Chain A
Amino acid sequence: MRHTISVLVENKFGVLARIAGLFSARGFNIDSLAVGETEDPTVSRMTIISKGDDKTLEQIKKQLNKLIDVIKVVDFKEGEFVDRELMLIKVAVNAENQKNVLEAVESVGGRVVSALPGSVSAEVAGDSNKINGLIELLKPFSIVEVVRTGRIALGTGEKGMKADGKPEVNE
């Protein structure tokens, strides 16, 4: 099962290495990882997409929580969050097919950020379906490079993820 985990961490150097190291040392997979500062500059938020059975995921969450620089961990439940990713893509074009490429980008709601005689660069933001859809559409042309941010996720509903500290675990 694929899981989308949000982690609030201290915005300090070395924290990313701790988290990445934990995943590799314990043999957990990372499918996607995105990090950025939050509204509070002392706190960063990571979105990690990982695969594993329930037992593995439980262990991942517990091990993340054990890290002292980790403030909070949430494993999003299906249907209770949205996730987005941003892709930049560059396609080689010629006079004949440039129009087709521009159309393809527009058809998925992407935006062209640079259109030169030999190449078109575009951005598209959205869920993976949308992003993978555009890649599929552009495959028949000549894709020069693709860069993706990795997914970020946000829980829907009124509650938010706050850096108010770790609660006691009570099992």
Chain B
Amino acid sequence: MNGARILIECLKKENVEVIFGYPGGQVLPIFDQLYDAPIRFILTRHEQGAAHAADGYARATGKVGVCLATSGPGATNLVTGIATAYMDSIPMVAITGQVKSFLIGNDAFQEADITGITRPITKHNYLVEDIKDLARVIKEAFHVASTGRPGPVLVDIPSDIQMQETEFAYPEKVQMRGYNPTYNGHPGQIKRAAKAISESKRPILYVGGGAIACDASDEVYSLATKNDIPVTMTLLGLGAFPMTHKLALGMLGMHGTAYANHAIMDSDLIIAVGARFDDRVTGKLDAFAPHASVIHIDIDPASVSKTVDVDIPIVGDAAIVLKQLNKMVKKPDTKDWLKTIDGWKKTYPMKYKIDEKLRPQYVVEQIYEATKGNAIICTEVGQNQMWAAQYFKFIKPRTIISSGGLGTMGYGFPAAIGAKLGRPKMPVFDVAGDGSIQMNIQELATAVIEKTPVKIIILNNSCLGMVRQWQELFYKKRYSYTKLCADTPDFVKLAESYGAVGMRITKKKDVRKAIDKALKINNTVVIDFRVEQEENVFPMVPAGEAINKMISGGLA
């Protein structure tokens, strides 16, 4: 069997049902095999789209997303997508063609040192130098990508190796002496954690993307509801605990709810689950949660005590650890604490100006009302992303798909295509800004042709809203290069030119009708909502401040 065929056989063994990619000279043997392989191939219109789509598929399903590109420019076009997946710990295998082995290092046509380029943005990567290693490498790549703290793995395969022949034998298991993730938490530490929770007066669960990755939301739910512990979530943790529950405090951090930020700052015990205390969450580090002890459950030892010092570290799989913890915790008395939090909820509710104007928050709320939370919400980056996180009530895990760590504009739409392929029965939205959507707008062709009907909600403020907001608040309203043009492109015509459905909504009263209509159309729909340009995302913690020093834009 030749190398290209071996690759396909390996992917079949890994139950890969879809590959996102783009062809080119150094992957011709692989494409020749794909021609009649029983694996769906999605031809995106840009390799970045392929990487994000594989990532969106992985987030929506929990399976490994696979993308494929040729050497040189094909491979470098994957880079942003790989970095995005790396920052958010998403299981992905990226396969690239490489120039023939004997040409490597010669600046051959379309040669790029992609293993060198992606070394700091992959969990691991490989250059296959011998056809005999290929099957083992693919096996390892899927294993590494999907176990422990997940992440992207890149496999670079020179085209001569794709054509060489060898016998195919897929290894039964992997043997890697340098890789041994920890799943079971230390029993002594779990006991200490149970005691700390039982004795706490003002506990709070702080839940991140790790809880989604480990499918720990049921255990989070038990811990919270059996013990009356309030829950705040990071952007990537949304959906781990239903926002409709009275113990849910929503997102914390820079654009978190005021009550989540006050609660974490006043708590005496933070129970962090698969979250990494990044700067958007902690704000000013020295001032963060001064009265709290910290329990940190995380599969990655390097995340523990990286920024915030941890009192009770538990390295392990969040679902396994929480299951054991749930058996041991005695219910603490949190009545007063919940009363205090209710007070904050009343004093500082999430709100925006309600009038006749078409405001972006209202659009997001109406998507929730129309779907009752039974939808996958992908986002772009900027204000649109924060409004989606703030105003959509996520009730299930894997329903928010957003580039948290890297903050990649152009992520949401291709990710939505991947999500729709993975979960075809779910309505899938991309909540977008007019800036971000233009970064991968070419994927309209993919969405239409591949029949992955996603609903693109453009919160069109004719500007790079989030940057404009910072310029307004911190740069004396000097709007340097953040204005876009409302009528270029004409998103309705643009959608139509690709064979999608375009709509333009300028009035608040038409919002819900448009969303309902879009849900009924079995095609990709682009809705250009002309929203208030001056609308800002509040509350907001200015960079470098403590997270209870929020500004509210005069609303609270």
Contacts and interface: CB of A to CB of B under 8 A. Distances in A.
Interface in A45-83: 55, 58-59, 62-63, 65-71
Contacts of A140: none
A59 B304 CA distance: 9
Nearest to A9: B178
Interface in A67-112: 67-71
B124 interface: yes
B116 A17 contact: yes
A165 B306 contact: no
Given A59-B306, A62-B301, A169-B315, A14 B180 contact: no
Interface in A1-49: 9-10, 14, 17-18, 21-22, 25
A166 B178 contact: yes
Nearest to A14: B115
A129 interface: no
A170 B186 contact: yes
Given A21-B120, A68-B124, A165 B144 contact: no
Given A25-B120, A171-B315, A165 B304 contact: no
B119 A166 contact: no
A10 B127 CA distance: 15
B182 A55 contact: no
A160 interface: no
Interface in B108-129: 115-116, 119-120, 123-124, 127
A145 interface: no
Interface residues of A, number: 29
B418 interface: no
Contacts of A25: 120
B301 A171 contact: yes
Nearest to A166: B180
Contacts of A68: 123-124, 144, 176, 178-179
A164 interface: yes
Given A17-B119, A62-B301, A169-B301, A70 B189 contact: no
B222 interface: no
A69 B302 contact: no
A171 B314 contact: yes
B177 interface: yes
Contacts of A136: none
B305 interface: yes
Contact of A170 (B115, B116, B315): B315
B315 A63 contact: no
Nearest to A58: B305
A9 to B, nearest CB: 8
A163 B124 CA distance: 20
Interface of A: 9-10, 14, 17-18, 21-22, 25, 55, 58-59, 62-63, 65-71, 163-171
